[in-house]
Amino acid sequence: MEKATTTSAKVSLILFVGLFICFSSLAQEIYFVTLVKGDIKKNNATAVKVGDKIPFQEKLVFANKNCKMILLHPQKGRFVVEPGTITPQATGEYFVYLKSSLHLSNEKLKLSSRGDADLDEFFITNPSVNKNLLFVGDTKIALDNSKYLIKDPVNDFFFLQYTPANGKPMNKKLTVTHDSLLISRSDFMFNGAEPAENSEVKIGFMQYYSTEKKMTRIASFSPVFMSIADCKAIIAAIQQTISDKDKAFEEVLTQLYYNYGKPDKASMKLLSEQR
> Cβ distance 161 to 204 under 8 Å?
yes
Model pTM score: 0.84
Angle 25-31-35 (CA atoms, 0-180°, nearest 5)?
Answer: 170
Q: Which residues contact 195 (CB under 8 A, 6 or more apart)?
A: 162, 164, 188, 201, 223
> Cβ distance 108 to 252 under 8 Å?
no
Q: Which of 93, 70, 130, 86 is nearest to 263 (CA)?
A: 130
- Quote the radius of gyration of the chain (alpha carbons, Å): 25
3-state helix, strand, coil in the chain (%, to 5): 30, 30, 40
186-233 pLDDT tens trace:
999 999 999 999 999 999 999 999 999 999 999 999 999 999 999 999
Q: Where are the domains of the chain?
A: 14-105, 112-275
Q: Name the burial class of residue 15, with classes exposed (0-12), middle (13-18) and buried (19+) by CB atoms within 10 angstroms of its CB.
A: exposed
58-77 pLDDT tens trace:
999 999 999 999 999 999 99
Question: What is the b/e burial string over 229-266, where b = at least 16 CB atoms within 10 angstroms of the residue's CB?
Answer: eebbbbbbbbbebbeeeeebbbbbbbbbbbbbbbbbbb
Alpha helices in 94-210 (DSSP H): 119-122
Mean pLDDT of 265-270: 92
Q: Which residues contact 22 (CB under 8 A, 6 or more apart)?
A: none
Q: Which of 159, 162, 172, 168 is nearest to 206 (CA)?
A: 159
80-117 pLDDT tens trace:
999 988 899 999 999 999 999 999 999 988 765 455 67
What's the CA dihedral at 119, 125, 130, 134 to 10 degrees?
A: 0
